[in-house]
Amino acid sequence: MIPVEISSIKKAYGNIKAVDGVSFSVKKGEIFALLGPNGAGKTTLIEIMEGLRKRDEGAVKILGLDPWENGYELHRKIGVIPQDFTFFEKTNPREAIKYYADLFGVSVDSDDILREVLLEDSAGVIFENLSGGQKQKMGLALSLVNSPELYFLDEPTTGLDPNARRAIWEVIRGLRGKGKTVILTTHYLDEAQQLSDRVAIMNHGRIVAMGTSDEIIAEHGSGERLEIHGTKELASYVRANTDLKVEYNGKGLISIALKEKVDALAALEAVKQSGLDWGEIQTRRDSLDDVFVKLVSGIMDEHGEIKAESKGNNSSNQRRR
């Protein structure tokens, strides 16, 4: 059975299309990341899959169940950390684990779980006194109680310091090691790249790219480029004297797309003939960062207009809300 299968999911809030026709499936044992800027529709989509939100249209099968109609049955089989996980203020992690174990009717060793999420030192600290990272770890601990096969982690590391993020990553890698299936949302590129087998980049409620990092780069990246530090005159000279596609960024960087590796020789030959000054030379490929910026900050909307939304760089680390 394929753990997660969704097709043509739509959800609108008034006029805003939060999720606008999303389809994918996730294989058993896979870690699948939904990557996108804030407001891309990631949380709405993941909540539809968890059965916390009703979809307007489309088909969803999670572990063979419709999550909205059979939520009660489904929730026994999945583990979830909602975005900004919160819990009863006066309850400590050990009590919370015991509580969940009672509710699920399972018996667990709370020390084992606390150790697994690296929270054994704060087992007796009530929730309101835990740090952000510890709270998130407690959320992870609770999602482990019913030993689910499928996990939904909604921005598990948003707002955490680097150490706390790495600790959470370790726990998620541990899940992969046990063959669990994980769907996570994030707006951190490195998180998606580090943890996931496949990434879906979401923007404006749609998936704009999906696959492994390499597949996305191959499909949406520009391919290999030769970059030369030089003047606008040099760029014009190379453009005039070769068949190559030459771009000048206005700040002293000439970028030449290479269809084949030998194109680099033609380009350099033209540079030499120009007699103009030039500096550093390098060849490079688009990274996932480059593709993400390209897909998310300069995307065409349904009217064909280019929307320039996130003007900053790709690491938009600001917290949600």
The binder of other proteins chosen from 29, 82, 159, 252 (CB under 8 A): 82
Q: Residue 166: in which H helix or E strand, if any?
A: helix 162-177
The binder of other proteins chosen from 3, 36, 51, 156 (CB under 8 A): 51
- Secondary structure in 3-state letters for 42-101: HHHHHHHHHCCCCCCEEEEEECCECCCCCHHHHCCCEEEECCCCCCCCCCCHHHHHHHHH
The binder of other proteins chosen from 7, 10, 99, 287 (CB under 8 A): 99
Closest CA to 60 of 7, 1, 2: 7
Query: Cα–Cα distances in Å, from 38 out to 86, 171, 295?
Result: 20, 24, 14
Select 54 or 173, whichever has its Cβ closest to other proteins: 54
Using CB under 8 A as the binding rule, whether residue 72 contacts other proteins is answered as yes
Q: What is the dihedral of CA 157, 160, 161, 164, to 10 degrees?
A: -60
The binder of other proteins chosen from 80, 114, 117, 288 (CB under 8 A): 80
Using CB under 8 A as the binding rule, whether residue 287 contacts other proteins is answered as no
Using CB under 8 A as the binding rule, whether residue 88 contacts other proteins is answered as yes
State the minimum distance, in angstroms, from the CB of residue 16 to other proteins: 15
- End-to-end Cα distance, the chain: 37
Segment contacting other proteins by CB under 8 A, of 80-88, 180-188, 192-200, 223-231: 80-88
C-alpha 89/C-alpha 10 separation (Å) is 35
Q: What is the DSSP letter of 198?
A: E
Using CB under 8 A as the binding rule, whether residue 71 contacts other proteins is answered as yes
State the minimum distance, in angstroms, from the CB of residue 99 to other proteins: 5
State the minimum distance, in angstroms, from the CB of residue 81 to other proteins: 9
Which residue ranges make up the site for other proteins (CB under 8 A)? 50-54, 71-72, 75-76, 78, 80, 82, 84-91, 95-96, 99-100, 102-105, 126
